[in-house]
Each structure stands twice: as structure tokens, then as C-alpha cells.
Amino acid sequence: MTLSKVLATYSKDSGNSVYVQSYESPVGKAIAAADEDFLYAVTFENSKNFEKCFETLAKELSCSFIESENKILKRFGKELSDYFEGKLKKFTVPTKMIGSEFQKIVWEKLMELPYGSTQTYGDLAKDLGRPSSHSRAIGAACGANSLLIVVPCHRLVASGSKGGYNSGVDRKDKLIELEKTFS
């Protein structure tokens, strides 16, 4: 389904507006969503969770979607450009995460991973005080991440392989390589 159709399907008649803008990037068209205070989503049109991302936003925020750029999205667009040029190592745009408490804990921990590094799902589980056998739960939390690149789930890898990525392993590989080039 196209972006316009997804937004039309899930928009709700309310006073809440969430702005949506597309950005060209070296790894494909990134689509971001924000209100006047927070960035809520960064996804790609061919991501597994593309439609679900907007469905969840509409449900949680009871919002209508507007295809336009606001101040938060302008800031994000500049930061995204700087990230791909190797000038930005950590996003500073204000974000708000929508998910379970466990998912939020995982996402916060992901934001501590240094630019240009990778860590295994099992090691992240251990860092959270859980056994490495919780790596599947860590992977599931990464799969539910709606702030791709900003919350760098691409930096998590499986033992002996790259692991998955809800926007495709090829895109994950490109993001990891990009960061290694500039770190």
C-alpha cells in the first residue's frame, strides 16, 4: 500500500495532527512521523512494519496524518543528512517511543551502543541483567522498533551472522558499513 493510502486508512478525525515526510537516503526512502513535540517513527516503505507503524500511531495518538514537514521533521531531516555524511553519531531530535516497558528498556539500551559498533542480541540481554537465552525477546523488541536508524537496532547482530532487520538485511549491512567508514 502506498504512503498516501496508509495515511488515509489510519487517520482519525481529531485535533491531534502528526506530520509525515519522506526523505531520500543512501539506503532508500525514509519516512518519518512527528507532532510538534516528538519524532515518533522512522521507517521505510518496504519495511515489514511500514503499515503497522502508522496503525499503531493512529491508535495510540488518535491522530490525523498530514503529509508535510514541521519543525521536528526539519530537524530530523538535517540530522539524517548529517548521519549519512558521517557528521552525526547520535540523533538529538526529541523522540517518544510507543511500546511495552520491556521494548522501551531495550530501545533505550540500544541508544547507548556506540556509533560504528555492533553487539550480539545475547550480549545486550546480559547487559540488561537477563540470560543470553533472552536474545529472541531482544530481537522481537528490535523488530517492533518504529524509530529505525535513530534507535540503532541495526547495530545488533546474531552470533555468527548479521541477524534480521525489519527493513531488510541488505539495508542493515549498508548502515553498519556506513558507520564503520566514518568511525
Catalytic residue among 53, 63, 142, 153: 153
CA-nearest of 48, 36, 32, 122 to 83 is 32
Strand partners, 42: 32, 147
| Location of C-alpha cell 533505550 | 108
| Location of C-alpha cell 538535517 | 78
What mean pLDDT value characterizes the chain? 94
- Highest mean pLDDT among 2-6, 93-97, 138-142, 159-163 belongs to 93-97
CA-nearest of 44, 34, 175 to 93 is 34
Q: Which pLDDT belongs to residue 167?
A: 83
In whole angstroms, give the CA distance from residue 165 to residue 167: 5
The pLDDT tens digits for 84-134 are: 999 999 999 999 999 999 999 999 999 999 999 999 999 999 999 998 889
Q: Return the H-helix or E-strand segment holding 23.
A: strand 16-23
| Burial classification of residue 100, based on how many CB atoms lie within 10 Å of its CB (0-12 exposed, 13-18 middle, 19 or more buried) | exposed
Q: Provide mean pLDDT across the span 149-176.
A: 88
Q: Provide mean pLDDT across the span 38-43.
A: 97
Is 63 tagged catalytic?
A: no
Among 39-48, 143-152, 163-172, the minimum mean pLDDT is found in: 163-172
DSSP 47: S
Q: What is the DSSP string of 62-106?
A: -EEEEES--HHHHHHHHHHHHHHTT--SS--S-B---S-HHHHHH
**pLDDT higher than threshold 80 for residue 160:** no
Q: Residue 30: left (phi > 0), alpha (psi -120 to 50), or beta?
A: beta
